[in-house]
Chains A and B, each alone.
Chain A
Amino acid sequence: MSLLRLLYAGWKFHLKSLTLSGFFLLTSVFQPLIFASIAYLMFNAGARPGSLLYVAIGAGMMGIWSSTLFGSGGAIQWQRWQGTLEYCIAVPPAFIWVILPLTLATATIGLYSLTTTLLWGWLLFDVPLHVVHPGWFVLALPATVLALGLLGLVLAATFVLYRQANALSNLLEYPIWVVTGLLFSLSLLPGWTRPLSYVLAPTWGVQAIREAALGGSPGFDIAMCFVLGAVYLVIGHFCLRYFERLARERATLALA
């Protein structure tokens, strides 16, 4: 019970804190609108118009990935700069339960992206906001956020070993948008990219939300979000333990 309270309090605190950050609002609201607008214009002008709701969901998902990537990738470094990392490690709960709410919050704030791209599309591009399976849709959203938040835990635990975490985030933003097929079908990509797509939660998350919204069977995609989330949790747990031990051994906790 106290663990759930810790997770909830941490998640709520970080969500509020991130909402006040201009950078995160830019990443999760403005940037997805730019990509959504370009994609709407491209699909409207193209020979294969496709579904604009498909595009809106994909552009929103791009924002969820960006906020998770930049927020979680720099999570530990961020605590270090603020001088709070020592406290986060020293408190009685395990470090993972202190960092997890932050990575979950970075994924949650990405929901602003989805909301804004859907509303933007509806207001300016006549994107229909009809959801075929509302029940599945309501389940697909938290499943996707949870999976991305747990992937964020892996990012937080691994990026900290690389001094230039921001540059690593820059490196991974576009490639993951491409390889997870957020704005186009995965079948367009070369076959060798498929395993990469399948181990990344955004692939299944966007498929789950799309199938719930446009019609289809999102059950398997949602299940994959949970399965991958569990795998990320295990990887994140071991990576964080390794980081913590290394930092204690070398006395480098407060050093960048």
Chain B
Amino acid sequence: MNSVRIFFVGGQITYRALFHWLTPQIYIPSLVVAPIFQILLFAYIGRSAGLESDEFYVVGNALQYAAVPCLFAMTQMVGGERYQNTLSAILVSPARRIPLFVGRAIPVVLNGAFVAAFSLAAGTAILGVDIPLSAVPALALVILVAAFSCTGLGLINAALSLRIRENAMLSNVLFGFLLIFTGANVPLGELPGWMRTISDGLPFTHAIEAARKLADGASLGSVAGLVGTEVLIGLAYAGVGYALLRFMEVQSRRYASLERS
């Protein structure tokens, strides 16, 4: 029962505490307006290059932009605690680590999904992209799965931030790689073979492909394989992230490096 409370209540309270600075003056420019212009930028490059339709870029970039809240917020979950000198108090507590860390990921996933959904709706409206209303529930599910999958990668990022001082830079680097490798802007078939291989193991790749098919009128059942793969990728990253967090925690205790990096 205590673990359930830590998972839900602890996760929510921690999110509110660590993101008290995320006021509308910061949230709107960074997470509402910026993704719309990312969509517009690539849609216009796409028109200029004569590559794909606007729908391709709206769906790809809307989903991919969930990486900003998912990667940065998960990192802040560890980095923010350290900054406020509360990390050691948390790690010394007897709370079970799975509810402690994974509970913090729930608000991050929901925020990431909101950012992606809003960007998709705004991009669709601005560029006049036609997505059938019947596809909306399935698209919502895919967006949620994509945000979950990227939050798994964010957990790895959070663990690394126990050792890396410039964790925001690492998030930026990961965001850049996701922009290239996930097929958000370049069709996967046009990527060189080695890039295509990497993209198969990244968050978003399968979710973006599934979302594009749904936007073209496919049923949820026909993209179940892609969605399932995305879930598995998310679980794999979350598992690795959790293991890495525990490893870093042990290393931090052993070498007294918790507050140092």
Contacts and interface: CB of A to CB of B under 8 A. Distances in A.
Contact of A183 (B45, B50, B51): B45
Contacts of A82: none
B10 interface: no
A227 to B, nearest CB: 27
Contacts of B50: 46-48
A239 interface: no
Interface stretch (A10-18, A130-138, A173-181, A210-218): A173-181
B34 A46 contact: no
Contact of B185 (A23, A42, A177): A42
B38 interface: yes
B48 A184 contact: yes
A219 B150 CA distance: 48
A167 B25 contact: yes
Contacts of B185: 38, 42
Contact of A167 (B30, B166, B169, B191): B30
B186 A41 contact: yes
Given A42-B51, A167-B29, A188 B37 contact: no
Interface residues of B, number: 34
A38 B40 CA distance: 15
Interface stretch (A26-34, A93-101, A197-205): A26-34
Interface string B38-50: 1011101111111
A43 interface: yes
Nearest to B21: A164
B179 interface: yes
B47 A188 contact: yes
B26 interface: yes
Contacts of B37: 174-175, 177-178
B180 interface: yes
B29 A174 contact: no
Contacts of B41: 174, 177-178, 183
Contacts of B45: 38-39, 42, 183-184
A231 interface: no
Interface of B: 23, 25-26, 29-30, 33-34, 37-38, 40-42, 44-51, 166, 168-169, 172-173, 176-177, 179-180, 185-187, 190-191
11 contacts: A23-B169, A26-B173, A42-B45, A45-B51, A45-B187, A45-B190, A164-B29, A167-B26, A171-B29, A171-B33, A174-B38
Give 7 closest A-B pairs by Cβ, nearest first. A46-B49, A174-B37, A171-B29, A47-B50, A184-B48, A46-B51, A34-B176
Given A30-B176, A45-B190, A177-B37, 19 more contacts: A26-B173, A30-B172, A34-B176, A34-B177, A38-B42, A39-B49, A46-B46, A47-B50, A164-B29, A167-B30, A171-B33, A174-B34, A174-B38, A174-B41, A183-B44, A184-B44, A184-B48, A188-B44, A189-B44
